[in-house]
A and B are shown apart, each in its own frame.
Chain A
Amino acid sequence: MNATIAMITFRAMLGRKRALLLLALPLLLLVLAIGLKATGNDDLDISATVQQQFGLATLLPLLALIAGTGVIGPEIDDGQIMYVLTKPIPREVIVLTKLAVAIVLTTAFAVVPTLLAGLILTGTTAQLTPAFALGALVGGIAYSAVFVALAVASRNAVTIGLLYALVWETLLGSFAPGAKSASIQQWSLSVIDALTGASPVKSTVDLPLAIALLVVVTLAGTFLAAFRLRTLAVASAD
C-alpha cells in the first residue's frame, strides 16, 4: 500500500463533479426504497427483489466497473501512469493500492447503499439485509479485481466489462444455465442464500464452489493486473 498513490487515485475518482455521478446512482436506490416504504410495499419479497435486481445486479457491477477501470484505465490511456511507474515503487504495490481504492469506492457507493435500502425496507428480518450486504461485499471485491485487471490488460476495458456484466450475466444467463453459473453475481447470491433463510433468494451454485471461485477470480485478477503492469506498453493517446 502506498498512501500517496491512494490519495491521488481518490482525488482523480472523486474530484470535481465526478463524485456527484457516483453519488447519484445509489441515491436512486435509496429513493426507491424510501418510496416503497412510504407506500407500504415493504414485505420480504419486495425487499429481496429490490436488493437483488437493483443492488446486486445493477448497482454493484456498474459501480465496480466505474471504480475498477477508473482507478487505472485513464492514467494508462493518457500516459500519466509513467510518472508513477518510474518511481521506485514495486508494481504489485501500485496494483494493490489501486485495487484497494476501487474496493473502498465500490463498498462506499454500492454495498453501503444496498445495506441502507435493506434496512429501510425490512430492517434485519430473516437476516436478509446483513446477508445481502456481505454478499455484495464479496461480490464487489471480486468484480473490482476483475475490472482492474481488465483495465490494465485492454484499452476497451469498459466495453468488455459491460459486455460481461450485461450480456453474459444478464442476457445469456436467462438462456443458457451454464453461463449463469459462471458469473460473479451467482456466486455472491450463493453466499447470500447460505446466510439467509428468506425464500425469495435462490442460487444455482453450491456454497463451497462459489466461495472457491470468488477467491480464485479475485486472486487471478490481482495477479494478472500486477503481471501485466510489469510489461506495460505505453502507447500514445488516441
Chain B
Amino acid sequence: MSTSTIHDIGYRHYDGRRNGRAYVLRSLYVHNLRAAFGLGRPARAKVMPFLLAAIMLLPAAGSVAAFAFTKEPDALFRYASYAVIMQVIVAIFLATQAPVLASREIRFHVIPLYFSRPVGHLDFVLAKGAAMASALFALMAVPVTVLYVGGLVAKMPDSGEQVLKWLGALVGCVLFALVLAAIGMVVAAFTPRRGFGVAAVIAVYMVSAAFVGAVQGIAEAQTNFTLQGWAGLFTPFNLVDIVQVRLLGAQSSSAGVPSGIEGGIVALALCAVIVLGSIAVLYRRFRKAGLS
C-alpha cells in the first residue's frame, strides 16, 4: 500500500473548548422532550398532547373538589391507582407521541445527519428514551401531585401516611413511564409509516389488555386465582401495578395480582428486562438507520 495522506490545505482548525458528551446528551434530551409535547412545532402538533394532558388532569381536579365538599376520604382517588384508572389516556398519549420521537427521523432518513456529528449511538437512544419516559412521567405525576396537594389543602387526615403514599405513587409513576416508553419506542421505531406507528403502539396495548382480560375473567370464573394473578404480567399496566402492590405497599387496582413478595420481584425483574431489552433493540435499530 502506498502511503496516502490527507493534505492540509490550510483550513483553520478548531482548538477551542468542546462542550462534550454531557452537552450532546442534554441537548438531545431537551429537544426530544419538547418534541414530545409539540413545543417548537406548529400548533397542530401541540393540540393532542395538551388535550390528553388536560383530560388526565380533569378527574384529579374533580376528585379534589368532591373531597373538599364532602370531606369523605373515599372521594379522593388513591394516588397509586390513578395511572391504572386513566390507563387508556396514558396509552393514547404514548401511541401518539412515541412515533413523533422514534419514527419521524427514520421515515425521512435523517438519522445519518445526527451520527455525522459527535453523537454516540447509545447517547442518542438514551436521550430519546429518557425524553419519552420524562414526558410520560410528567403526564402521570402532575395529576397525582394535584391529588396530594389538594388533599393537603383540604385537610386530609393522616398527613404523614399521605406523604409516604404519594412518594410511593411517584416511584410507581417512574416505573410506569420507563416500561411504557420502552415498549412504545421499540414498536414505533419499527413502524415508520405515518399513522401505522400510532396504530401499532395502541394495538400492542389494546390486544395485550384484551387477551389478558379474557384470560383473567375466565380464570376468575373458575376460581383459579393463581393463573389470574400471573396472567397480569403480560400487560404493561397490570405488570407495573403488581410491583406497586407487592413492593411499594399500594392497594391493588388491577384485576389480578400474584400473591407474595416473589410476585413483585418477578414483575420488577420483567420491567428491568423490558427496559434494558428496549435500549438494546433501539440501539441496533438506530445504528442501522444511521448507515443508510
Which residue from chain A places its CB closest to the CB of B222 in the assembled complex?
A: A41
The answer to whether A49 touches B203, judged by C-beta atoms less than 8 angstroms apart, is: no
Given A73-B194, A78-B194, A54:B210 Cβ within 8 A: yes
Q: Does B81 sit at the interface, judged by CB under 8 A? A: no
The answer to whether A49 touches B195, judged by C-beta atoms less than 8 angstroms apart, is: no
The answer to whether A54 touches B92, judged by C-beta atoms less than 8 angstroms apart, is: no
Q: Does B239 sit at the interface, judged by CB under 8 A? A: no
Q: Is the interface of B mostly helix, strand, loop or mixed?
A: helix
Interface residues of A (CB under 8 A from B): 18, 21, 25, 28, 32, 36, 41, 46, 49-50, 53-54, 57-59, 62, 65-66, 69-70, 73-74, 77-78, 155-159, 162-163, 166-167, 170-171, 238
The answer to whether A77 touches B214, judged by C-beta atoms less than 8 angstroms apart, is: no
Which residue from chain B places its CB closest to the CB of A54 in the assembled complex?
A: B210
Q: In the assembled complex, which residues on chain B have CB atoms less than 8 Å from the CB atom of A167?
A: 55, 88-89, 92
Tell me the bound Cα distance from A156 to B49 in angstroms. 11
The answer to whether B207 touches A74, judged by C-beta atoms less than 8 angstroms apart, is: no
The answer to whether B206 touches A58, judged by C-beta atoms less than 8 angstroms apart, is: yes
Number of residues in B with C-beta < 8 Å to the partner? 34
Tell me the bound Cα distance from A161 to B45 in angstroms. 16
Q: In the assembled complex, which residues on chain A have CB atoms less than 8 Å from the CB atom of B41?
A: 238
Q: In the assembled complex, which residues on chain B have CB atoms less than 8 Å from the CB atom of A157?
A: 195
Which residue from chain B places its CB closest to the CB of A33 in the assembled complex?
A: B214
Q: In the assembled complex, which residues on chain A have CB atoms less than 8 Å from the CB atom of B200?
A: 21
Q: Does B48 sit at the interface, judged by CB under 8 A? A: yes
The answer to whether A62 touches B47, judged by C-beta atoms less than 8 angstroms apart, is: no
The answer to whether B44 touches A238, judged by C-beta atoms less than 8 angstroms apart, is: yes
The answer to whether A74 touches B214, judged by C-beta atoms less than 8 angstroms apart, is: no
Q: In the assembled complex, which residues on chain B have CB atoms less than 8 Å from the CB atom of A158?
A: 96, 195, 198-199
Q: Does B202 sit at the interface, judged by CB under 8 A? A: yes
Given A62-B202, A159-B96, A18:B196 Cβ within 8 A: yes
The answer to whether A32 touches B89, judged by C-beta atoms less than 8 angstroms apart, is: no
The answer to whether B203 touches A21, judged by C-beta atoms less than 8 angstroms apart, is: yes
Q: In the assembled complex, which residues on chain A have CB atoms less than 8 Å from the CB atom of B206?
A: 58, 62, 166
Which residue from chain A places its CB closest to the CB of B86 in the assembled complex?
A: A171
Q: In the assembled complex, which residues on chain B have CB atoms less than 8 Å from the CB atom of A49?
A: 214, 217-218
Given A21-B200, A162-B92, A171-B88, A74:B47 Cβ within 8 A: no
Q: Does B114 sit at the interface, judged by CB under 8 A? A: no
Q: Does B173 sit at the interface, judged by CB under 8 A? A: no
Q: In the assembled complex, which residues on chain A have CB atoms less than 8 Å from the CB atom of B213?
A: 53
The answer to whether B194 touches A62, judged by C-beta atoms less than 8 angstroms apart, is: no
Q: Does B42 sit at the interface, judged by CB under 8 A? A: yes
* 11 further contact pairs, Cβ within 8 A, besides A62-B203, A74-B194: A21-B191, A21-B199, A25-B207, A36-B218, A50-B214, A54-B211, A58-B206, A62-B202, A73-B195, A78-B194, A159-B95
The answer to whether B210 touches A53, judged by C-beta atoms less than 8 angstroms apart, is: yes
